[in-house]
A and B are shown apart, each in its own frame.
Chain A
């Protein structure tokens, strides 16, 4: 049981030692009270992975028999007393043949001879107003227009007035992000933290067949800490201004984590649940230029990865993250496709254990207006054996360690005046 003497003496002595330790060690790591999180409401929330491919896409999913995929998104105003306004951006990470207007592709092999499969970053924005405590949900492929409790879409319990519209993703198929920021009626960021967002990625066989999968994760939230300028050209700052930035902050939010932490099965590992597993990792930069996506293309973050197995053995690898990167773990350090899987540091046969942890850190690059923080989400695919169809999926938020001292910046677009029609 607790004794006063033990507690008192231990506390005094340990406090003294801790203070001395901190003095000796300096404040390189520092202490932050607020950090990004996926389990508390926030003022700025990022969904790192949104995917869509339906029977209405171009190319369309085969009907029947093809595998359609869509993302259910739930946005909630947790403020039980006040309406809120939310600005959101779809960040389109699709590749296209030749130019942004070309066909959607994955590799050059998908394009006509002579055309390259070019990465294009495009942004589509929308704005919604949510009543106190209001939850909304929608498919990324269809959006939501009008929003429930809009004057033209009243419901039996509506007291407040919702408004705006959720635009659908700009393309089908689509892969990319959704970023949402709580603002006032003039699109100025507010120091309030009333947003929570969840995503569920659902795939199924069109018209019925053999497989349905579902994987859910929480949006990564950045708590609003303090107000800034009201200039629309100024970025919101995550932690602070990036090193070397000369801008001013339009609001300061919780910083990005210093290290992303992924607990995972090594790819190909047979699990105690049955079947084998493979993990997809999606990484996105914390910094974003939503106003000039072409500028975003110039930001490349090197992600350093330390991979530990259950023997405490460490291997390392790295990859470059440019706007959005979604890849199987085994394709991070080997060519895409199954041929090189067994040579990857993420392959269970290479590691010799079934599970491991990977610590991911964005490496500081040249100083400028954007920072080098990263965030992301991991998804697992389960199948009966290697190479057989995927029969179940999971998603989970990456864990966070520490926070980045060099801040990140998100430059916004100015929202167009007047009604927005999806």
Chain B
């Protein structure tokens, strides 16, 4: 990016940050699933036997823009597809928008999807399994730190009571705030957005990656106490985990890889662990998957907690980047009826052992073809 363009973007961001402060907007801190941010990550987007509806809202009183990237994380012959499709959005002040990923959203004021079309959103092909990233930008496409985007995703399908599956779950997008300045979201280390294509997740330009995630779970494959108590016995619970590396290279289209470990405890303090959990571009699997070696099927107790974090190297330093993610829990009753419930995973920021969730600096690289 040129000096002039970068400066212009920085000035714009600063002015907008001031406006945002006046409106009480710039209160985001670190990664958040409930505070507006300048980067949104939707860790689970699918167009398979179920569909996904994406909702994004501009919470500021000024127009804003976003550059979005679908990443198809499906594996083909064990290799991540890493198919990236990008598009741009323009949102007027306080404008909410939505689309179903299977149909996308055309720019057509006469079609059935009413509202101000935010831009051409392409439909995703059947079988898509991956994630969505949206980066807030200025009108010239340069990234900004306005922190005005929030998003939610709804995943599922409804077929009614006449047969067919019914299951819907909802989660909030992970928001990464731009730091803005030393009094902004990242604290005294924060600085203005330099407007270039490298989004530094370092608590200077954007918030740094939290060192880990907490995953609460019910014993994989076990019965659900609520269903059992209602006499709808022989129920089962299964948790599906979706993880995205905290660092993405859209410029060189190199899939980010990282290796995780999981430290578990059940209700009786029984410890266990599993590693390596390799995340190559994208990870999605039920807790019954072979990679977990059955550790999420508890021998005693029904409930458990796990810390997911990068494998530690010499001196307790993480070898790879952490991840962000969402858990989607499928409950199936004896009568075959079922539903899913998604939860945002809590961030682990306890850097001391044994949690060892060490904050990691990373980056998201945007393409420079524009």
Given A134-B267, A211-B161, A384-B161: A7 and B196 within 8 A (CB)? yes
Establish whether residues A207 and B34, one from each chain, have CB atoms under 8 Å apart when the complex forms: no
Asked whether A156 is an interface residue with its Cβ less than 8 Å from the other chain, the reply is yes
Establish whether residues A204 and B300, one from each chain, have CB atoms under 8 Å apart when the complex forms: no
Establish whether residues B161 and A210, one from each chain, have CB atoms under 8 Å apart when the complex forms: yes
Asked whether A261 is an interface residue with its Cβ less than 8 Å from the other chain, the reply is yes
Most buried by B among A81, A148, A396: A396
Residue ID in chain A nearest B233 by CB atoms = A208
Asked whether A228 is an interface residue with its Cβ less than 8 Å from the other chain, the reply is no
Establish whether residues B214 and A76, one from each chain, have CB atoms under 8 Å apart when the complex forms: yes
Establish whether residues A9 and B7, one from each chain, have CB atoms under 8 Å apart when the complex forms: yes
Establish whether residues A312 and B337, one from each chain, have CB atoms under 8 Å apart when the complex forms: no
Establish whether residues B270 and A155, one from each chain, have CB atoms under 8 Å apart when the complex forms: yes
Given A10-B194, A21-B18, A25-B18: A355 and B96 within 8 A (CB)? yes
Asked whether A329 is an interface residue with its Cβ less than 8 Å from the other chain, the reply is no
Asked whether A232 is an interface residue with its Cβ less than 8 Å from the other chain, the reply is no
Asked whether A124 is an interface residue with its Cβ less than 8 Å from the other chain, the reply is no
Establish whether residues B169 and A263, one from each chain, have CB atoms under 8 Å apart when the complex forms: no
- A residues 67-96 with Cβ under 8 Å of B? 68, 70-72, 74, 76, 78-81
Tell which of A196, A214, A274 touches B329, judged by Cβ atoms closer than 8 Å. A214
Asked whether A63 is an interface residue with its Cβ less than 8 Å from the other chain, the reply is yes
- B residues 1-50 with Cβ under 8 Å of A? 1-3, 5-7, 9-11, 13-15, 17-19, 21-27, 29-36, 50
Residue ID in chain A nearest B350 by CB atoms = A78
CB distance from B266 to the nearest CB of A (A): 7
- B residues 315-348 with Cβ under 8 Å of A? 329, 331-335, 337-348
Asked whether A127 is an interface residue with its Cβ less than 8 Å from the other chain, the reply is no
Asked whether A388 is an interface residue with its Cβ less than 8 Å from the other chain, the reply is yes
Residue ID in chain B nearest A354 by CB atoms = B98
CB distance from B268 to the nearest CB of A (A): 3
Q: What is the CA–CA distance of A6 and B334 in the complex, to the nearest angstrom? A: 63
Q: What is the CA–CA distance of A308 and B230 in the complex, to the nearest angstrom? A: 40
Interface residues on B, range: 35 or more
Q: What is the CA–CA distance of A35 and B35 in the complex, to the nearest angstrom? A: 10
Most buried by A among B22, B167, B168: B168
Residues of A within 8 A of B261 (CB): none
Residues of A within 8 A of B92 (CB): 312
Establish whether residues B97 and A355, one from each chain, have CB atoms under 8 Å apart when the complex forms: yes
Most buried by A among B151, B187, B344, B352: B344
Establish whether residues A17 and B218, one from each chain, have CB atoms under 8 Å apart when the complex forms: no
Establish whether residues B33 and A39, one from each chain, have CB atoms under 8 Å apart when the complex forms: yes
Given A80-B350, A310-B116, A400-B34: A204 and B337 within 8 A (CB)? yes
Establish whether residues A354 and B194, one from each chain, have CB atoms under 8 Å apart when the complex forms: no
- A residues 159-215 with Cβ under 8 Å of B? 159-160, 196, 198, 200, 202, 204-215
Residue ID in chain A nearest B63 by CB atoms = A312
Tell which of B115, B166, B172, B271 touches A309, judged by Cβ atoms closer than 8 Å. B115
Establish whether residues B95 and A392, one from each chain, have CB atoms under 8 Å apart when the complex forms: no
- A residues 305-328 with Cβ under 8 Å of B? 308-312, 314
Establish whether residues A55 and B230, one from each chain, have CB atoms under 8 Å apart when the complex forms: yes
Residues of A within 8 A of B288 (CB): none
- Which of A115-123, A136-144, A244-252, A290-298 is the contact stretch? A136-144
- A residues 375-418 with Cβ under 8 Å of B? 380, 382-385, 388-389, 391-403
Interface residues on A, range: 35 or more
Residue ID in chain A nearest B91 by CB atoms = A312
Asked whether A33 is an interface residue with its Cβ less than 8 Å from the other chain, the reply is yes
Asked whether A133 is an interface residue with its Cβ less than 8 Å from the other chain, the reply is yes
Tell which of A34, A202, A216 touches B343, judged by Cβ atoms closer than 8 Å. A216
CB distance from B313 to the nearest CB of A (A): 20
Establish whether residues A310 and B96, one from each chain, have CB atoms under 8 Å apart when the complex forms: yes
Q: What is the CA–CA distance of A25 and B21 in the complex, to the nearest angstrom? A: 8
Residues of B within 8 A of A112 (CB): none
Asked whether B57 is an interface residue with its Cβ less than 8 Å from the other chain, the reply is yes
Residue ID in chain A nearest B272 by CB atoms = A157
- A residues 341-372 with Cβ under 8 Å of B? 352-357, 359
Establish whether residues B304 and A135, one from each chain, have CB atoms under 8 Å apart when the complex forms: yes
Asked whether A32 is an interface residue with its Cβ less than 8 Å from the other chain, the reply is yes
Residues of chain A at the chain B interface (Cβ within 8 Å): 1-3, 5-7, 9-11, 13-15, 17-18, 21-22, 24-25, 28-29, 31-35, 37-41, 54-55, 61, 63-64, 68, 70-72, 74, 76, 78-81, 131-139, 141-142, 148-149, 154-160, 196, 198, 200, 202, 204-218, 258-259, 261, 263, 271-275, 308-312, 314, 352-357, 359, 380, 382-385, 388-389, 391-403
A and B contact pairs by CB, cutoff 8 A, 5 listed: A10-B3, A79-B350, A258-B27, A312-B94, A396-B170
Residues of chain B at the chain A interface (Cβ within 8 Å): 1-3, 5-7, 9-11, 13-15, 17-19, 21-27, 29-36, 50-51, 53, 55, 57, 59, 92-100, 102-103, 113-116, 150-152, 154, 156-162, 166-172, 180-181, 183-184, 187, 191-192, 194-198, 214, 216, 218, 224-227, 229-232, 265-271, 300-305, 329, 331-335, 337-350, 352, 354-355, 368
Known: A9-B7, A156-B270, A263-B151. 4 other contacts (CB 8 A): A18-B192, A41-B346, A157-B265, A399-B150
The list of the 4 closest CB pairs from A to B, nearest first, reads A310-B115, A155-B268, A21-B18, A272-B100
